[in-house]
Amino acid sequence: MSQQAAQVETLFLHEHGEEFRVAAHRDGERLFHGILELKETDAGPRPRRLRVKDGTSEELRSPDQFVDLARRAARIRISEQTTPRARERIREMLDAYQIEAKVVRTCRLCASDGRYSPITSETAIETDDETICPECARQQLDRELAFKGSISGDARDRLEELLLEVQDLDRVTNLLSGQLDPDLTKFDEISATVDEVDPVRVDSLDLHPGMQDHLESRFETLLPVQSLAVEHGATEGRDQLVVSATATGKTLIGEMAGIDRVLNNKGTMLFLVPLVALANQKYEQFQDRYGDMVDVSLRVGASRIADEGGRFDPEADVIVGTYEGIDHALRTGKDLGTVGTVVIDEVHTLGEDERGHRLDGLISRLKYYCESGGAPDSGDTQWIYLSATVGNPGQLADQLRATLIEFEERPVPIERHVTFADGREKIETEKKLVKRAFDNKSSKGYRGQTIIFTNSRRRCHQISRKLEYSSAPYHAGLDNRKRQRVERQFADQDLAAVVTTAALAAGVDFPASQVIFDSLAMGIEWLTVQEFSQMLGRAGRPDYHDKGTVYMLVEPDCSYHNSMEMTEDEVAFKLLKGEMEPVITRYDEGAAVEETLANVTVAGKQAKRLNDRMVGEVPTKHALGKLLEYEFIDGLSPTPLGRAVTRHFLAPDESFQLLDGIRKGQHPYEIVADMELRDEH
């Protein structure tokens, strides 16, 4: 005991009923602890005995040993939580031995366990009307997290960082229930940036009088990215890859080039987008803007052509189409007329696993069509590729053989927020956020409106029904009339929110001030950094809002399908901290076979040349071997089976499953059900 006493730096005393807890510390570590009993004497309080604890057992020590311990300790500290009466007794006892002690603020939880943890205004964590040390606060936070389920390291680190920053455990744990404390939910702010570009005056453009007059009636000068594109030949027929944030005016670059060439008899303009909803909106916009100058048609896919009221006219001046719609025309030998300009919006789709290879093949097949007589006599077809999110713009521009026009200005700042909630709490949180946004107007006089992204059509309707303010679901399952009504109501500020799946991420034009991620998945796939960036970029428009706001509602330990390896809280911080992925088109065997078959169908003996100039590396020799093995081709011509497979965009395994079902005499519904079950597994 005397040897221990000589080594003690701090002897700590804390009230324990009618007794006192005693803990001896050195270098922040507890050497031992026990219980000190006092007795009343004529001379005042004196030690009766010291019970030193060792695990579950106790060892009695004499009063003199406590006094010796106290005299040898470098300092003695009394917990501030000790009552005035108890503090007076212990001081009186120590004074009798001429031993000094100081009252300090300590963690009650540590003191109750016989540990000395002094706290200061910089380290104290508030909770339940008391203050505790950071370590005890972390332990309590861990218990809350365990109750909520497992939570990722990044999410835990974020909460611990907030705990030390705001020093209030209750405020931090409230985040786990979807609370909207803006000081805590705010993760960061993406600042508005301005690139210095000399604006090009519209009256200085040398366009066809029809297009020139149209532009002059709308603008005095072009926006910066438009000015850059014009300076680098956009209106002179040069191919360009334009990479710039949402709402910076990329679309007009394609319109200027394409409509001008149409009016100057330099061929049809194709404006291609990935989704039907986006094609419908672009078609309506082009009709409104240019319908008095040019004929506009719509081509959105083989299964939908008959449903579009006869709007597809291959001889139209402007054809707005989906990738699939135009590709189907090529695969089935349809005449697209003389193509003067091709604008491909959302070209970063090249990097998507499911659709990337199809866009890659479409570009190659469409270039072949143009080179084989589908280009204007007066010159080559002009290609303009548009995207808001490309991680490797220089490389992609080289692969597409286009001039890179890159503009990094963000017109308005975007605040990014994170809070935690389960599925039920998410809807309650969304109610509050939608209401808060819609109840406020920007300095430009516009109410705040919200886009809520979720992972299924069913969830779109579920959320929309429960929002208190006017809202509507918006997804590819709605017919064109309903989608147009939603677009019109949102534009007129009659809706506080739209709830959507991936359709809006691709650029449908809703001037929202706020984006809420109800889910970080689309279907059963987690978002990529590129998709996330594209979607959050819909928040905040320079002509409407002072800033954009993004909320991620994250459910800890949540995934939406057993094939998803990560949980939503892990994905959240990966997206927030991640760098933009490069756009790379990758080919597995199925994709290589599908695109090579389409190229054989369109170009016959030239198929290898089409494969060689695609963005991704296609193993042509292996793919041709598989096509022969599958009897999809005969020589370098498609068989009837091959034509049917490519006409319907079937992967090889899908075609074999269909054939197997047909040969077994299965009902079509059974075949479809079997294919759906296969996809689930």
CATH number, domain of 324, equals 3.40.50.300
Give me the amino acid identity at 171: R
Whole-angstrom Cα Rg for the chain: 35
Q: Is residue 426 situated within a structural domain?
A: yes
3-state secondary structure 610-630: HHHCCCCCCCHHHHHHHHHHC
- Cα three-residue angle 649-667-664, rounded to 5 degrees: 85
Largest CA distance in the chain: 119
Q: DSSP assignment of 84-126, as one string? A: HHHHHHHHHHHHHTT---EEE-B-HHHHHTT---B--TTT-EE
Residue where the block lists tokens 């309080």: 45
Q: What is the pLDDT of residues 237-282, one digit of tens each?
A: 999 999 998 778 899 999 999 999 999 999 999 999 998 888 888 9
Last residue of a domain, one of 575, 609, 636: 575
Which two tokens mark 85? 């009466």
**pLDDT of amino acid 308:** 43
Task: Report d(CA 319, CA 309) in Å as an integer.
Answer: 15
What are the start-end ranges of the H helices in 439-549? Answer: 457-466, 480-491, 529-536
Based on the fold, state whether residues 37 and 138 are members of the same structural domain: no
Give me the amino acid identity at 629: E
**pLDDT of amino acid 399:** 96
Task: Tell me which residues of the chain have a pLDDT lower than 50.
Answer: 1-3, 5, 303-310, 681
**pLDDT of amino acid 259:** 97
Going by C-alpha positions, the residue among 360, 361, 343, 342 that lies closest to residue 351 is 360
Last residue of a domain, one of 81, 111, 141: 111
Task: Report d(CA 374, CA 330) in Å as an integer.
Answer: 11
Based on the fold, state whether residues 156 and 254 are members of the same structural domain: no
Give me the amino acid identity at 615: V
Q: Is residue 98 situated within a structural domain?
A: yes
Based on the fold, state whether residues 285 and 384 are members of the same structural domain: yes
Give me the amino acid identity at 46: R
**pLDDT of amino acid 310:** 47
**Could you tell me the CA-to-CA distances from 377 to 34, 220, 318, 374, 643 in Å, in that order?**
98, 34, 18, 9, 31
Based on the fold, state whether residues 509 and 623 are members of the same structural domain: no
**Could you tell me the CA-to-CA distances from 163 to 22, 104, 166, 573, 631 in Å, in that order?**
30, 23, 6, 18, 65
Name the phi and psi angles at 38, rounded to 5.
-110, 155
**pLDDT of amino acid 583:** 92
Task: Report d(CA 617, CA 585) in Å as an integer.
Answer: 8
Q: Is residue 184 situated within a structural domain?
A: no
- Are residues 249 and 225 in contact, defined by beta-carbon separation less than 8 angstroms? yes
Task: Report d(CA 630, CA 633) in Å as an integer.
Answer: 8
Q: With left for phi above 0 and alpha for psi between -120 and 50, is residue 55 left, alpha or beta? A: left
**pLDDT of amino acid 379:** 61
Q: Is residue 192 situated within a structural domain?
A: no
Going by C-alpha positions, the residue among 571, 467, 466 that lies closest to residue 519 is 571
Q: Is 288 helix (H, G, I), strand (E, B) or coil?
A: helix
Is residue 671 classed exposed, middle or buried when 0-12, 13-18 and 19+ CB atoms within 10 A define those classes?
Answer: middle
- Are residues 318 and 289 in contact, defined by beta-carbon separation less than 8 angstroms? no
Based on the fold, state whether residues 103 and 252 are members of the same structural domain: no
Q: Is residue 92 situated within a structural domain?
A: yes
Based on the fold, state whether residues 390 and 474 are members of the same structural domain: no
Total domains in the chain come to 5
Task: Report d(CA 274, CA 351) in Å as an integer.
Answer: 13
Based on the fold, state whether residues 465 and 426 are members of the same structural domain: yes
Task: Report d(CA 173, CA 178) in Å as an integer.
Answer: 10
Q: Is residue 58 situated within a structural domain?
A: yes
- Are residues 561 and 554 in contact, defined by beta-carbon separation less than 8 angstroms? no
Task: Report d(CA 83, CA 14) in Å as an integer.
Answer: 10
CATH number, domain of 89, equals 3.30.420
Based on the fold, state whether residues 235 and 371 are members of the same structural domain: yes
- Are residues 13 and 83 in contact, defined by beta-carbon separation less than 8 angstroms? no
Q: Domain containing 664: what range?
A: 587-675
Based on the fold, state whether residues 518 and 467 are members of the same structural domain: yes
Residue where the block lists tokens 């057993």: 562
**pLDDT of amino acid 313:** 80
Give me the amino acid identity at 234: A
**pLDDT of amino acid 640:** 93
Q: What is the pLDDT of residues 406-419, one digit of tens each?
A: 988 777 899 999 99
- Beta pairing partners, 526: 521
For the CA atoms of 50, 53, 59, 63, what is the dihedral angle to 10 degrees? -10
**pLDDT of amino acid 673:** 79
Based on the fold, state whether residues 105 and 165 are members of the same structural domain: no
- Beta pairing partners, 297: 319
Which two tokens mark 394? 């220089």
Q: Is residue 373 situated within a structural domain?
A: yes
Cβ-based neighbours of 270, under 8 Å, separated by 6 or more: 319, 321, 326, 336, 339, 341, 342, 343, 366
Q: Is residue 215 situated within a structural domain?
A: yes
- Cα three-residue angle 651-652-656, rounded to 5 degrees: 120
Task: Report d(CA 519, CA 430) in Å as an integer.
Answer: 12
Based on the fold, state whether residues 552 and 642 are members of the same structural domain: no
Residue where the block lists tokens 């939908």: 304
Q: What is the pTM of this model?
A: 0.76
Residue where the block lists tokens 């946004």: 437
Based on the fold, state whether residues 552 and 449 are members of the same structural domain: yes
Is residue 462 classed exposed, middle or buried when 0-12, 13-18 and 19+ CB atoms within 10 A define those classes?
Answer: middle
Last residue of a domain, one of 56, 81, 111: 111
**pLDDT of amino acid 309:** 43
